Structure 1
């Protein structure tokens, strides 16, 4: 029986996606789990996999179309199956889908569009990219049907501009010219400072879609989520010793990181404090049964959160392997839908940059996020003596609508129990 593939919803605030490329063409065979198409969201380029095996019977939208979440995009049929030409299971004809996407793109555009700009033939995605990068469509040569400007034309134009504009070079800081004048009474000379001849010019850099999405989410979180913060220092000497011992027998490319231990410890601690593994649902608190840990990943132009699902149930080596694979895909711009959806609590780790301590913004609709700093050698008091100890600070940001200071502090105590007795993470 024919199966309809729809535009997936990747994250609670996703409203639409751009179908960048069809990987499987009409008439081609596709196996369940194979990549069917690539879509672009505010966060990343994501690979959409086929949910069934069969033949790609029909594409319902064109490449470059902006498609609302839940809209049918393709039909997969069994080999030799006859599929009725009329819409199947609520499928819109491709023409209607394209018209809806065009209307959606127009509604998102700025109202001050000249008549000349309206007459320019360009795809919705090309228009949006042009607005984001402040490109005059009159200056772009279209390569689509009838001279229509498509996404690749905008990208080619931007590449040409970057090539034509001199690249930034390292400019040595000019040495101020100094003259001297004798001091009236001491006999030695004092420097007289003169301003340098030139300073770097101001630069305006348009925000891309990822940066705009991050901005919207963080503003929403800070305005509507009443944050409070709790910081604690953890003794990680035993944890680092255990990690070193484990990594001595692990092959290259499979060694554990400090963050792997933190993910496991947080997941186990959340079992005891379900209010921190929750979100607001109307006037109720939705406590999630699964513990899915989101891990913030630095990508070009911003941040992306990949999700280790059921982290409380998985061994460390599985957590480590999954995170490593998802981070690699995220930085290549090839994340899968399941990589970035479904998190119930997040971790942001800046320890690799020698950051001692920081506070993170809650990732909506979650109720908490843990900001992790570097493990550092610091002076500690042991008995009546000052010795060198290995400590790591972490700060919990929590939603005061869902939890309170005492409960959050108790969560940090349980987290310390796991981090400071890391053998508990292995049993």
Structure 2
């Protein structure tokens, strides 16, 4: 039997997921199997696999139950994120941002445009992350076994939840688009996701993603990095908070942000600066309108 060349990390992930490495084609030097090869094999296997469940399984804890078939997209998500948590060293950074000005600017902008063109809060978050990536280009990289890839374009993956599953299409060239352009493009992607019309061209490797659960009153949460991303921003609900400035009590609206970071690509200091820059743009939204 020919010797199989495989990186230690790829071998570990394969072992954790009970993968026969003899069935994986390596794309590294001398045909070496890399982490990317294993991840692609997992995704391909999940897509091609027909899941046959029967009602003959043993009752769970003696309770009545039914066997539910796992949707293909759910299995792909489960396998991909399991690989992420087992192979990516996550760390988490948390901040809050004042968004009174942002809410006011959005309200005034939406009052001057048609219903179909209305801008969401999330559109501003996307633009803020894009500008921050431009300011810190070392955060616009992803890790691979033999090297890192530094993107020349600024792309943001945006989590879209539908009845059929979770999709993360990529908005490209964020740094070159206005908030209104981002808003129109997002509306199109959401519509395509709901109608199961997303194409391969709607997905592209990028370094950063956003997941927003604020509309469900979730105050904060830790998002799992979706490979090959290096970071993901988890956006919570906007809450009214009492603050004290110069011994004067007042209130303001704040949003909780949690940045999940791949420590292989981004260290603590760089991650903190990146998140601080995102907060800066959210607290100074007029800057977003001119970039």
TM-score range, shorter chain: 0.7 to 0.9
Correspondence for 1:318? 181
Deviation for aligned residue 1:200? 7.7
Q: Distance in 2 between matches of 1:203 and 1:301?
A: 20
Is residue 229 of structure 2 the alignment partner of residue 366 of structure 1?
A: yes
Q: Distance in 1 between matches of 2:280 and 2:268?
A: 19
More relative contact order in 1 or in 2 (CA 8 Å, sep 6+)?
2
Deviation for aligned residue 1:400? 0.5
Q: Contact 2:122/2:212 (CA < 8 Å) preserved in 1?
A: yes
User: Residue by residue, what CA displacement relative to the aligned partner does 1:146-205 show, whole Å, maximum 9, x if unpaired?
Assistant: xxxxxxxxxxxxxxxxxxxxxxxxxxxxxxxxxxxxxxxxxxxxxxxxxxxxx9833332
User: Residue by residue, what CA displacement relative to the aligned partner does 1:50-90 show, whole Å, maximum 9, x if unpaired?
Assistant: xxxxxxxxxxxxxxxxxxxxxxxxxxxxxxxxxxxxxxxxx
Is residue 129 of structure 2 the alignment partner of residue 235 of structure 1?
A: no
Deviation for aligned residue 1:273? 1.8
Distance 1:132 1:311, change over 3 A: farther
Is residue 196 of structure 2 the alignment partner of residue 333 of structure 1?
A: yes
Deviation for aligned residue 1:241? 0.5
Within-5 A mapping of 1:9-408: 129=50, 131-134=51-54, 201-408=64-271
Could you say what secondary structure the match of 1:388 adopts?
strand
Scaled by the length of structure 2, the TM-score of the pair is: 0.78
Correspondence for 2:281? 418
Scaled by the length of structure 1, the TM-score of the pair is: 0.54
Deviation for aligned residue 1:328? 0.6
Deviation for aligned residue 1:289? 0.9
Q: Distance in 1 between matches of 2:64 and 2:234?
A: 36
Name stretches of at least 5 consecutive residues in structure 2 with no aligned partner: 1-44, 57-61
User: Residue by residue, what CA displacement relative to the aligned partner does 1:185-227 show, whole Å, maximum 9, x if unpaired?
Assistant: xxxxxxxxxxxxxx98333322111111001111110011000
User: Residue by residue, what CA displacement relative to the aligned partner does 1:373-415 show, whole Å, maximum 9, x if unpaired?
Assistant: 1111122222213322100011000011111111111111111
Name stretches of at least 5 consecutive residues in structure 1 with no aligned partner: 1-107, 110-124, 137-198
Q: Distance in 1 between matches of 2:198 and 2:114?
A: 25
| Count of paired positions | 240
Could you say what secondary structure the match of 1:355 adopts?
coil
Distance 1:135 1:290, change over 3 A: farther
Distance 1:134 1:291, change over 3 A: farther
Decide which structure has greater helix share.
Answer: 2
The alignment's C-alpha RMSD in Å is 2.1
Could you say what secondary structure the match of 1:357 adopts?
coil
Decide which structure has greater strand share.
Answer: 1
Q: Contact 2:205/2:228 (CA < 8 Å) preserved in 1?
A: no
Distance 1:219 1:383, change over 3 A: same
Q: Distance in 2 between matches of 1:330 and 1:134?
A: 30
Distance 1:288 1:135, change over 3 A: farther
Q: Contact 1:378/1:388 (CA < 8 Å) preserved in 2?
A: yes
Could you say what secondary structure the match of 1:312 adopts?
helix
Q: Contact 1:379/1:386 (CA < 8 Å) preserved in 2?
A: yes
Q: Distance in 2 between matches of 1:230 and 1:252?
A: 36
Q: Distance in 2 between matches of 1:360 and 1:271?
A: 22
